[in-house]
């Protein structure tokens, strides 16, 4: 009798199985089983703080010479990067999508954009022996800039406010809209047959073990030259770079020694996977990588290097 009552009490629930079932597979995003996820929309930030950070990013007064802004090495009007210069011997990573990485810089020393902004402003190649406080003092003579800073932070610019504003601006520098992202979200015409082959090869060979997630990399440190030499041996352990927008940021590797994607792909396969790629496979993978080029403020990123 008790068993019968129990079954009767469960009858309404058993008649509605969907109530307890997970979301149907058909309703899940197409990319849910893919190792790479799309960048869907830019992050929403405080517009005044982002605008202040943008202007500080472009202000040469935040350097020892008073003439070298962050934008001198990271041109957001093009690809977010320029080749290393002077004592900054490593090729400059792009500033786009850095907010999606858990470590920053080629050696992954900085964990946050704020940490990286502060370290960069103090690096000898930028500061030339001038204390950061003296650089910020130059800005305090700018009445309009101070008025904007007070509107955002309730005080004049100081070290904490400067790095916070620059980091807020850098977090806004994301590049949605790549053809690969359009393919991930259901546009089957967005990729060519060659690009789809390249993506399949990219996964099959194991490239995806280091280059995955929304940023297609940027989330682990790895030793290079495992099977064969790759590039300059120092530093030996590097942050795996994002491959988004890689089409427009040649030359490649931390020492800038690979002039084309095909050469970079071939050397990476040999060095990290002990695989000798043929020309067709290297070309297919390079074609896939070119599909990762996104847009900023509605415009496709473009190359600035020759």
List binding-site positions for heme c: 70, 73-74, 207, 210-211, 268
Encode pLDDT of 127-172 as tens digits: 898 999 999 999 999 999 999 999 999 999 999 999 999 999 999 9
CA distance 79 to 97: 11
Tally of domains within the chain = 2
Domain boundary among 132, 147, 171: 171
Check whether residue 186 and residue 272 sit in a common domain.
Answer: yes
DSSP 207: G
pLDDT tens readout for residues 67-112: 999 988 888 887 777 655 433 456 778 899 999 988 888 787 888 9
| 245: Cβ contacts below 8 Å, ≥ 6 apart | 79, 80, 94, 96, 97, 175, 292, 293, 294, 301
Pick the last residue of a domain from 171, 191, 221: 171
Closest listed residue to residue 197, CA positions, set 128, 281, 132, 135: 281
Q: Which domain holds residue 145?
A: 47-171
Indicate the annotated binding residues. 70, 73-74, 207, 210-211, 268
Residues 195 and 295 in one domain: yes
Lookup result for tokens 């040649």: 250
Which residue carries 């490239």 as its tokens? 207
Is pLDDT at 269 greater than 90 in this prediction? Answer: yes
Indicate the pTM of the whole model: 0.84
Rounded Cα distance, 178 and 213, in Å: 15
CATH assignment at residue 208: 1.10.760.10
């Amino acid at each position: 009798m008790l068993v019968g009552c129990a079954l009767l009490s469960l009858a309404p629930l058993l008649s509605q199985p969907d109530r307890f079932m997970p979301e149907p597979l058909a309703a899940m995003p197409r990319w849910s089983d893919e190792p790479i996820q799309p960048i869907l929309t830019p992050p929403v930030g405080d517009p005044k703080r982002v605008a202040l950070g943008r202007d500080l990013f472009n202000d040469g007064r935040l350097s020892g010479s008073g003439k070298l802004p962050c934008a001198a090495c990271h041109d957001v009007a093009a690809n977010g990067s320029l080749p290393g210069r002077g004592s900054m011997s490593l090729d400059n990573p792009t500033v786009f999508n850095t907010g999606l990485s858990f470590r920053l810089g080629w050696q992954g020393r900085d964990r946050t954009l704020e940490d990286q902004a502060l370290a960069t402003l103090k690096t000898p190649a930028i500061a030339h022996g001038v204390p950061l406080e003296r650089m910020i003092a130059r800005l305090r003579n700018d009445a309009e800039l101070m008025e904007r800073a007070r509107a955002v932070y309730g005080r004049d610019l100081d070290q904490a406010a400067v790095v916070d504003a620059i980091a807020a601006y850098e977090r806004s520098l994301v590049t949605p809209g790549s053809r690969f992202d359009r393919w991930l979200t259901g546009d089957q015409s967005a990729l060519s047959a060659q690009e789809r082959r390249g993506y399949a090869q990219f996964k099959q060979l194991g490239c995806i073990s280091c280059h995955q997630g929304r940023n297609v990399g940027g989330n682990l440190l790895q030793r290079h030259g495992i099977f064969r030499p790759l590039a300059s041996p120092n530093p030996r352990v590097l942050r795996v770079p994002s491959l988004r927008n890689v089409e427009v940021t040649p030359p490649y590797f931390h020492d800038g020694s690979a002039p084309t994607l095909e050469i970079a792909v071939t050397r990476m396969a040999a060095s990290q996977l002990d695989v000798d790629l043929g020309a067709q496979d290297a070309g297919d993978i390079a074609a896939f990588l070119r599909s990762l080029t996104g847009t900023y403020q509605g415009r496709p990123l473009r190359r600035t290097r020759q």
